[in-house]
Amino acid sequence: MSDKMNLTRAQFDEVMVPNYAPAAIIPVRGEGSRVWDQQGNEYIDFAGGIAVNCLGHCHPALVEALKTQGEKLWHLSNVMTNEPALELATRLVNATFAERVYFANSGAEANEAALKLARRYALDNYGEDKTEIIAFDKAFHGRTFFTVSVGGQAAYSDGFGPKPQAITHLPYNDVAALEAAVSDKTCAIMLEPLQGEGGIINATPEFLKAVRALADKHNALVIFDEVQTGVGRTGELYAYMGTDVVPDILTTAKALGGGFPIAAMLTTAKIAAHLKVGTHGSTYGGNPLACAIGNAVMKVVNTPEVLDGVKRREQLLRDGLNRINDKYHVFSEIRGAGLLLGAVLNEKYQGRSRDFLNASVAEGLLSLMAGANVVRFAPSLVIPEADIAEGLERFERAVAKVAAA
């Protein structure tokens, strides 16, 4: 085998497990909000690696952090701590409600830690009968067996044998259903403050207040999964900051590393005390490379310029999508917050979000789906306004083609 391989999309089917169905193109280079494929074709990125590339591709601050730390220290394990991890944990504590941080590698791992902590906290304080986790239909919390079972999409959790027990799923935003379900056996209520994979659905203020009040009444913990909404995505550093509710546990990943794998679970000192030495762990959690990049992300994102800019860019994107819809009448609404927006397909175009995605790629735009009926957009938080305008022009051409088909 030569060092130089002729790599094609066809090789995916020959060497990879078939649980993904990637696009025909293979991107090879990115800069800012643009990427180029093997053939040199250019695309504007409205997908952001599914809300991961919060500062676009190859942001200078992140590249510099990787290079600098890469020449110092790569890995130690948690037998020892390291300076980048201590710095990032301190930044997260100073910027949020949290007093303690646990590092992991992915959103699923952070959510796994959150769920285990909630169960352990309940067991230690209230006994072995307090195990129920309440979650919500259409939720997505990761792909470990515990998190995928808590997520409210049976299609992802069925077919792997007996599931973890004491998990109740309720309709999202349904206060009456929540009031009827929460009891003294409930140890935690877990939710996304804005559902991502479920279709970009905003929580109502009344629903979030009910979650907090009922959890307090029954000595349960509130877990906010901010894997997708966190690190500036909604125009707040974390989405909870734009609500009247503060969670007991918060999970963050995706944008925290700007494209480098890292995640964290944030909580209070009182709750964190129940994960004593040996109760949970991660080989790579708190890795110096990952944390150095996480620090660089936080330095850039957690500023008024970037967070205010998210809200300005949201309005540009919303206005543009509404203008397109005024012409082609394909969407019933534009929902979401900040730069996590969903264009909901109307009755005529039900089930066709992939058609819009594929047509967009053909026009030089990368977008996403959030189920079969929602086209999802999660671009860089610092995407140039000129790229938003150009991306919308390309999307309009894609919409026109689907509408004419």
Residue stretches of the annotated binding site for N(2)-acetyl-L-ornithine: 143, 282
**Tokens 């074709």 -> residue:** 41
pLDDT at 161: 85
Q: Where in the chain is the domain with CATH 3.40.640.10?
A: 73-301
CATH number of the structural domain 9-59+304-404: 3.90.1150.10
CA distance 290 to 75: 10
Q: Mean pLDDT, 10 residues at a time, over the chain (405 residues)? A: 79 92 93 97 97 98 98 94 97 98 97 97 96 96 92 87 92 98 98 92 97 98 98 98 97 98 98 94 95 98 98 98 97 97 96 96 96 96 98 98 93
Nearest alpha carbon to residue 141 among 181, 110, 96:
110
In this structure, whether the domain defined by 73-301 belongs to CATH 3.40.640.10 is answered with yes
Residue ranges at the known binding site: 107-108, 140, 143, 225-228, 282-283
CA distance 124 to 132: 15
Residue 1 confidence (pLDDT): 44
pLDDT for the residue numbered 135: 97
Pair of tokens at residue 200? 């970009």
Lookup: tokens for 28? 């090879």
How far apart (Å, rounded) are the C-alpha atoms in residues 90 and 99?
A: 9
Q: Among the options 140, 207, 224, 377, which is catalytic?
A: 140
Q: Would residue 276 show up in a list of annotated catalytic residues for this protein?
A: no
Q: Which of 45, 224, 225, 331 is catalytic?
A: 225
Write out the residue limits of the CATH 3.90.1150.10 domain(s) in the chain. Answer: 9-59+304-404
* Alpha-carbon gap, residue 363 to 91, rounded angstroms: 41
User: Catalytic residue at 67?
Assistant: no
**What sign has the CA pseudo-torsion 350, 355, 359, 361?**
positive
pLDDT of residue 311: 97
DSSP for residue 364: T
Q: How many CA atoms lie within 13 A of 215 on its CB side?
A: 26
- 176 residue type, one letter: A
Active-site residue, selected from the candidate residues 254, 260, 356, 387? 254
Do residues 153 and 140 touch, judged by C-beta distance below 8 A?
A: yes
Q: Which two tokens stand for residue 303?
A: 């500023």
User: Which residue ranges make up the annotated binding site for pyridoxal 5'-phosphate?
Assistant: 107-108, 140, 225-228, 283
Record the pTM: 0.95
Q: Check if 270 is active-site.
A: no
CA 350 centroid distance within chain:
25
* CA-to-CA separations, 291 to 104, 105, 180, in angstroms, rounded: 10, 10, 42
